[in-house]
Each structure stands twice: as structure tokens, then as C-alpha cells.
Structure 1
């Protein structure tokens, strides 16, 4: 059974759960700061909220993909990640430089289990 949690637009889900798997994606909510660190902190907080909706938490993240608009600023995102991540259960993570829709400069995709 697939459970979809409504997003801000009717064509996007905030999170999706299938059996024990959970999938979610987040960007910083409006108003968006130009700071990579602040956007990362806010996007990670949204990940926490979405995981909670699905009955899980960051200790059960299997993998994360972080898309950032400027790889030269990756250290700012890493600082937010290191402050947020469950260090006893660190997930596999990839960081990819991409063009994102402004004003967003970071987007995070997570797969977790319940």
C-alpha cells in the first residue's frame, strides 16, 4: 500500500511511504535566505517533519542525495549536515552540483525505513 502525504501543490507529495520504505524531498520554506547554511538547516528541519509524518526519524535514513547550486559552498551545507545528522546512524550520502530553481540553492532527497 502506498501512502502519500500532501505537499504544497496538488501535483507533488511531501512524502511517500510504501510498506516500510519512506521517500521525501525538501527545500527551505519561504522566505528563502541566500545563505547555503540557513537553507540547509531549514531543509533538514523539513526532512525531520516529513519523516515524523511517516512514523520514522533521521536515525533510520538509508540514503540522502543533496543537490546544491554551487559546489564551492558545499562546506556551508556540510556544517548544517554535521550538526543535524544522527552520528550513531549516519546514512549514505551523495552531494551533486546542479542548477536549481532560484531562490533555492539546496534540495535534499531522503530514503528511510520505518
Structure 2
């Protein structure tokens, strides 16, 4: 009953689904970019992962955003708001935390969504 989508890292999957819920996580594929660029790439990956399991960004109900430098949060927020758009009906609940991330990763995003 649990559906899992393999990612590139050993010991974990990029996405999982159970019944009508989908969970996925992403970082940027290009860590040479600034926080805004990495946020955009991570969000685009989130959307692709959700579509692969029968959902999309308008069905995200919860998100956790992990940022390496909280002083740069406004740059992430700008990309986030543009990506979700102006319709509050599509805005998820979100927590944003400052954390130590590996290497040059500046942002990691995990979401829970409902299948279409």
C-alpha cells in the first residue's frame, strides 16, 4: 500500500505516498546558486515529485523549509510567494527553520500534499 519513489541517495527515497497523502523532500540540483536560485530549483523538484505521485503544488498542506542562513530568509520568501501565487487557497501551512546543512546546500524543503 505504501508507494515509494527512489531518489539518488542511499538509504532514503525522494517521495512516498500512502492512500491520499504524499510526502517529498528536495534540495537544489545546483548548489553553486544563491539562496533564491536554490529555492527555485528545490521547489521545481518538489512539483515534479508531487506530479509523479498524483498531486501538485496546489495540494500541499504542510511544508518545512530548512535554511542555512536565516538572515537570507527574505530571498527565499520572495521565490516561495511567487511560486505559490496570490491565491491563499493554495498556500500551505509552513515552518521555516535555520539549520546547518551539508556542503553548499542553502535550503532543503519537505512537504506533505494530498493526491488529486
User: Structure 1 stretches (4+) deviating beyond 3 angstroms?
Assistant: none
Residue in structure 2 matched with residue 45 of structure 1 by the alignment: 44
Q: Supply the RMSD in Å over aligned alpha carbons.
A: 1.0
Tell me how far 1:102 sits from its aligned partner.
Answer: 1.4
| 2:14 pairs with 1:14 | yes
Q: TM-score, normalised by structure 2?
A: 0.93
Distance 1:87 1:18, change over 3 A: farther
Helix, strand or coil: the match of 1:8? coil
1:4 match: secondary structure: strand
Q: 2:101 aligns to what SS in structure 1?
A: coil
Point out where structure 2 has 5 or more consecutive residues left out of the alignment. Answer: none
- What number of residue pairs does the alignment pair up? 113
Structure 1: gaps of 5 or more residues: none
Give, in whole Å, the separation in 2 of the partners of 1:33 and 1:93: 26
